[in-house]
Amino acid sequence: MNQIHRAVAIDGPAASGKSTVAKRLAASLGLVMVNSGAMYRAVTWQILQEKIDPENSASVLEAMNRMEIECGVEDGLSTIAINGRLLTTEIRGAEVNEHVSKIASIPEVRERLVAMQREYLDNNDVVMEGRDIGSVVFPDTPFKLYISASEEVRAARRAKDGEADAVAQRDAQDRQRKASPLKVSDGSIVIDSSDLTIEGTVEAAREALIKFGWED
């Protein structure tokens, strides 16, 4: 693990509120917020654009090997571009939601993206959110949070955002896969955001960091 820069790892299921918390925490602590799910989404979007069957791992890998993937930072937030195209709202659509867990279950896809996730720490202090940040990407960081919320609350949050996203099904796939499954990694503090406001969840995250010995 990089000795100079610090990483706050935030894991949790879909729609648990971890992105919002990660963004606010990063802004208040002056860190870069890295959304690792956006990387899996971007690769999935490109695979679908190329009309490749997401179930066919060999074809997915062959296509991914041809992709030029560029990760960056803008206004304190991570960015992702594939083959020179910056990807933003297009990676949030229903089709990507449906197939992203399958693409993320392929070990070689994870290997390439995890390497890029770790590179962020070369130049930045980061808050990184995802599914395997505390367990695989930065297992040695002392700052590990796991943000959860009940299935009902998470489904309601997505519906409120007008998004078609079968979160329960996606979580089941993300928890059951062999490669880096979603789990509470050792040493994490778990925050259940079901009955908390956004501010309340951010406050709980700050308190957890202080317990871990975080110093501004």
Q: Which stretch binds ligand DC (CB under 6 A): 52-60, 66-74, 99-107, 146-154?
A: 99-107
Q: Which of 25, 40, 138, 201 binds ligand DC (CB under 6 A)?
A: 40
Residue list 51-90, contact with ligand DC (CB under 6 A): none
Q: Which of 104, 127, 191, 209 binds ligand DC (CB under 6 A)?
A: 104
- The distance between the two most distant Cα atoms of the chain, rounded to a whole number of Å, is 48
Name which of 36 and 193 has its Cβ closer to ligand DC: 36
Instruction: Return the closest-CA partner of residue 212 out of 141, 145, 142, 138.
Output: 142
Residue list 161-190, contact with ligand DC (CB under 6 A): 170, 174
Instruction: Return the closest-CA partner of residue 21 out of 10, 32, 29.
Output: 10
Name which of 94 and 210 has its Cβ closer to ligand DC: 94
Q: Is 101 in the site for ligand DC (CB under 6 A)?
A: yes
Dihedral in degrees, nearest 10, Cα atoms 42, 48, 53, 54: 30
Helix (H) or strand (E) holding 191: strand 189-192
CA 187 vs CA 135, 137, 183, 184: distances in Å: 10, 14, 12, 8
To ligand DC, the closest distance from the beta carbon of 216 in angstroms equals 26
Q: Is 146 in the site for ligand DC (CB under 6 A)?
A: no
To ligand DC, the closest distance from the beta carbon of 180 in angstroms equals 7
How far is C-alpha 145 from the geometric centre of its chain's CA atoms? 13
Q: Is 131 in the site for ligand DC (CB under 6 A)?
A: yes
Name which of 42 and 208 has its Cβ closer to ligand DC: 42
Using DSSP's 3-state secondary structure scheme, residue 179 falls into coil
Q: Which of 10, 14, 42, 202 binds ligand DC (CB under 6 A)?
A: 14
Name which of 38 and 207 has its Cβ closer to ligand DC: 38
- Count Cβ atoms below 10 Å from residue 207 Cβ, excluding itself: 12
Three-state SS string over 58-101 comes to HHHHHHHHHCCEEEEEECCEEEEEECCEECCHHHHCHHHHHHHH
Q: Is 102 in the site for ligand DC (CB under 6 A)?
A: no
Residues of the shown chain interacting with ligand DC in the complex, contacts defined by CB under 6 A: 14, 36-37, 40-41, 100-101, 104, 130-133, 170, 174
